[in-house]
Every structure is written in C-alpha cells, then in structure tokens.
Amino acid sequence: MSFEIKVPAVGESITEATIGEWQKQSGDHVERDDVLLVLETDKASVEVVAETAGVLTTKAEEGDTVAIGAVVGTIEESEGGKKAPSPTATDSTPTAKRSEVETHPDLKSHLSPATRRVVEENHLDPSRIEGTGRGGRLTKEDAEKVAKSGGPSAPQQAPTPQQAPPLPTPKKAVENTETREKMTTIRKRIAERLVSAQHEAAILTTFNEIDMTNAMALRAKYKDTFKEKYGISLGFMGLFVKASIEALKMYPRVNAFIDGDEVVYHNYQNVGIAVSTPKGLMVPVIRNTESLSVAEIELAIRHYALKARDGKISIDDLNGGTFTISNGGVFGSLMSTPILNPPQSGILGMHKIEDRPVAVNGQVEIRPMMYVALSYDHRMVDGKESVGFLVKIKEGIEDPARLLLEI
C-alpha cells in the first residue's frame, strides 16, 4: 500500500513552504515517526514525520517551493520492514541497457540542487567523480568528499613568447571566489517585514543612558541565592522586562497598534524578546508579562533561548507580541537604532555596559553605563511620550526597589 507525504498546514496565513532538507533519501527504508524532511516557512522550520513504515520515494528536491497540501513523496509499505526488492534479470528491461543507464557518464543532468551547489562552489568535474547513489548517481556526500580531498586542479598554461610574464603572486595567495546560496524562506520574510516597517511607519528613535551600578550590585548580592532557588542565573533582561512593563502601563500608546483609522489598545503586555539564530532573527513572545515575577520572566527567556538554539521555535511562539526588546549588547554593540516589529509601535534596544566617567554630585566618577534606545512609530507616539517612557525605565533600573513597589 502506498501512502502520500503531503505538505502540512502550518499556519492560517501560510500558503507555501520550502524544502530545506531531506533527512531520508529516496529508496531508504523508514520507520513510523522518523523525521523525513524539514520544511522552512516564513516564520519557522517544521519537521515532517513518517506516518507509516516502508520505502520512501521522493517527488521534490531540496530547495523546491511547494504549496500547502502538495504531495512531495510516497511511502510504499514493505513486508517485514525490508526495502522493496531491487530489479532483477527477469525485468522487462534488458540487462545491458540497464547497465548502460547506471554508468552513463553524463551525470551533471542528474545532480540534485544540494549536490550541484557543492560541485559548482568547489569547481568540480562531476563526470570524473564516482557516484555511490542509486543507479550510480552522484550524491552530495560524494561531492563533499572530493572537495575536502582537494580534487583535480586545472593545468597551468605556460606563457607564450608574445604574452607578458605573469604577475608575481603572494606566497599565501587566496583564490578569489564567490559563493551563492538561495535565501531561506525565513530570511526572505524577515527582509520583507523590515522593508515594510520602514515604508509604512514613521520611525524615530530616542536615546538615554542608564547607570547600572545598583542593578549590578543587586545581581552580585543575590545571584547565588537566586540560582539556588530557581535553578537559573539572575540576568539583567528580567529587570528590563519588568521595567518595560511599568513604562507600558504609564504610556499605553507604546503598547498599542494602528489598524486602519483606529487605534487598538491592549490591557496586557506580551513582550517579545529578539533572539539571534543561525537561520535569522526570531522574536518569541512572553505572554502576560505583567503577571510574572522576575524569576518567571528569566525562566521564560531561558526556555525560548533553548528552543531557538535547537530550531524548535513554533509559529505560536512568535505570535501575539505587543512590544519588543532587543539586546545588541551581548554582541558588543554600544549604540544602535532598533527597527520596529510590525504592527507594534515600540521596540527597546539594550546595549553594552561600559565604564565611563560621569558627573555624580559634582564629582567625576567612573560608572558602568548603558545606552538604551526606543524606536517608535511617530504616528502613534509623541516625542514627549517616548522620552518619558525611557526615563521610566531608567528610574526602574537605577533604583530596582521601584520595580518591587511598582512606582
């Protein structure tokens, strides 16, 4: 019996996906619940598993864009969990003709997109590489193996008497090469949203600086006790989320959206935390942060950081945010202008903590300082509100007791 492998529905607004990688190859025997392939959508990666055991036949290649519901392969059930039998000499196709097809030297037309990319990037001659795939087909692994070994190099031509002598080359010459790769669906979607934000919103950024002395002292004093009780380190992000919640309560327009000719206010704060992953920037959302403690916020941040690292962020994890915080300081950024995450009206940018001379009570002191930035949609938020918003966060971080007392 043959079972079709279809592209699953992965979200209301998603109509297509890209085949990122086949975990199993055509002709492989698979077991029920084995991961067959990874689909990339404009929001997250989705694994497709086998619904039954049998022999896999693929009908789409890596890099193909496929519609939701499209058939990308089949699984043929085989008795006893064995592969389907290979053709024998009793087949209707003559043995000599079948052998000719299996050893045909023109292998380039049979390369998969992944294999072709390795061949072209490393300037390999596919006709001189022995294929180990089905029917003698060249696989990605075959090409990578030859590429790692160096591969055959093109012969150097000696200059003729009429030619100018060659230019001297450095002892450690590096070959000038270019590499091209197709943008992932996630990366394309990120690009579209960033351009959309720039075109549709009136984005301005205001800055302030925060003396981190008291926050760092609080962290140093209680970090061991905090970790012993909650099993997680006490970071600054939990304090900044808590400070942002109080600022959003005081300035609700920063937590609101524009919808046509209406303003949509939210009586809750769903804070998105920007996370950098190998596939691009993602913003998982911590819901109802106004009801969470600093410890619960830190646990939620850790939860999403691990999911992002393992590529397990789901579409539901990314939806519903009303405000975003991005911490460029972890990469060493001293100052930046974060860009809005539509349809939100505000995003807070945290930056590197750096010792700087500042005036304190008429004296110059060295203090650990951090620049913070608020990018906002000026259609929704006035300059006075944006400045007041950052001042509220500054007060909460410089005097953490305010966060406990909510003042």
Question: Which residues carry out catalysis?
Answer: 378, 382
Burial profile 322-360: b = 16 or more Cβ within 10 angstroms, e = fewer: bbbbbbbbeeeeebbebbbbebbbbbbbbbbbeeeeeee
Beta bridge partners of 15: none
Phi then psi for residue 20, to 5 deg, are -75, -45
Contacts of 403 (CB under 8 A, 6+ apart): 239, 242, 243, 246, 294, 396
Length of the chain: 407
* Tokens of residue 336, six digits: 């930046």
* Tokens of residue 44, six digits: 């997250």
